[in-house]
Structure 1
Amino acid sequence: MSSEQTTMSGPVHLSLPSPPPDPVSGCLECLGIAVTRANARSVGDHSKATDANVVLRTHLREDHGAE
């Protein structure tokens, strides 16, 4: 007989996704990314909207010091 375990050891706990980042008021780059995200959402392109969130988070961290 084999003693190899064939079942999971316990439940997997997933958290809710982070809320979408907010653009900084008065920043044209933030505005452009937010418009791209809104356009993607309006046509149901959730992949492109998610990509815009990543770009916005990176921009916020690098150019606005957000964490």
Structure 2
Amino acid sequence: MISKTTMSGPYRLGLPDPEPQPTEGCPRCEALSQQRATARRTGDLSAVSDLNVAMRAHQGGGCA
């Protein structure tokens, strides 16, 4: 039995999605946006990413 010893081709990643924007008039979106700005200002990019996920989930559930 012959086993393959070479690697397959490179894995290609696309560009990341743009940051979600707060929906006008939605207090939850505004709060998440402010928290994200604070996290970015303090250099906590992990929190920025988490807040982007939270905002997308909130908006996907139908926000004000």
**Normalization by structure 1: what TM-score?**
0.85
Give unpaired runs (5+ residues) of structure 2.
none
Q: Could you list the per-position Cα deviations for residues 10-30 of structure 1 after superposition, in whole angstroms to 9, with x for gaps in the alignment?
A: 121110100100010110000
Q: Distance in 1 between matches of 2:39 and 2:6?
A: 40
Unaligned runs of 5+ in 1: none
- Provide the rounded CA distance (Å) in 2 between the counterparts of 1:54 and 1:11: 28
Structure 2 length-normalised TM: 0.89
Whole-angstrom CA distance in 2 between matches of 1:54 and 1:27: 17
Corresponding residue of 1:52: 51
**Which secondary structure does the structure 2 equivalent of 1:19 belong to?**
coil
**Partner of 1:13 in structure 2?**
12
Match of 1:35 in 2: 34
Q: Percent identity?
A: 43
Count the aligned residue pairs: 63
> Which consecutive segments of 4 or more residues in structure 1 shift more than 6 A?
none
